[in-house]
A = this chain, B = another copy of it.
Amino acid sequence: MATRTRRSQRRTEALSRERIVEAAVELLDAAGEGGLTFRALTERLATGPGAIYWHVANKSELLDAATDAVVAAALAIEPAESPDAPRGKIRAVALGLFDAIDEHPWLATQLATQLSRSPWGSVTPRIFESIGRQVGAVGVPEGSQFTATSALVHYILGAAGQNAANGRVLGPDVDRGDFLDAVSKAWEELDPDDYPFTRSVADQMREHDDREQFLAGIDLVLAGITALHLPNGQASAPPAT
């Protein structure tokens, strides 16, 4: 039959900003940052570049819109029944972002650039708000809430960003175990004089689990907030996982 990838299938719905953003996300997911081009976009949407530019100012705005859409979706996933009060909710929000970056690796870089470019954009307040509310609920006094929330958000973005493409480095065909093994081995072969520490934790790196590790970090920051910002060092031990 030789049915090539459906060609010039006449567009049935009119073009719209949402449809364009949706297609952009699909392209980014499929081929990463480099996969989003106006050429690819016009083909997928069966139009010309002019049509897209009528709905969107430029590529940068399109990238921002795609980021915003994915983050909004990730934060919209409520844990339904609140699991165990504020600390649990903070973990849930953090994991939501972690998983979103895991599913959309391009998010990591995009988040970093966008956050540093315009902290008043819609993404920062969104994340900030979700975390901040729970920080207040934990009992952190008003004067420390900005500091505590910032620390959490920074940790989340830093950690999620790094973990992002870890598994995807060489495509989905690479086994996670093989990958960690390779990194671990590379670390073990570093110069003993220059890298004693990194060598010594090479095996811990081999055995670690990204999500577990990520959550452990969240608990670390939460413990710090408890120790430094709660009047009395009240119960802060994380629940057994």
* Residues of A that sit less than 8 Å from B by CB: 105, 108-109, 112-113, 115-120, 125, 128-129, 132-133, 135-136, 142-143, 145-151, 153-159, 161-166, 169, 182-183, 186-187, 190, 194-198, 200-201, 204-205, 208, 213, 216-217, 219-228, 233, 236
Contact = CB atoms under 8 A, between A and B. Distances in A.
A77 B215 CA distance: 32
Contacts of A169: 117-118
Contacts of A217: 147, 150-151, 154-155
B221 A228 contact: no
Contacts of A153: 158
| Interface of A (DSSP majority class) | helix
Nearest to A202: B146
Contacts of A198: 125, 128-129, 132
A166 B201 CA distance: 35
B154 A196 contact: no
Q: Which of A136, A186, A223 is the most central at the interface, judged by chain B CB atoms within 10 Å of its CB?
A: A223
Contacts of A158: 153-159, 161
A61 to B, nearest CB: 16
Contact of A151 (B220, B227, B228): B220
Given A109-B112, A224-B223, A228-B219, A154 B162 contact: yes
A165 B118 CA distance: 9
Identical copies of this chain, number: 2
A112 B227 CA distance: 30
A33 to B, nearest CB: 8
Contact of A197 (B119, B133, B201): B133
Contacts of A129: 194-198
A23 to B, nearest CB: 23
Contacts of A117: 165, 169
Contact of A221 (B108, B120, B155, B190): B155
Contact of A222 (B159, B186, B208, B224): B224
Contacts of A195: 125, 129
A193 to B, nearest CB: 11
A153 B220 CA distance: 13
Contact of A227 (B116, B163, B197, B236): B236
A205 B124 CA distance: 13
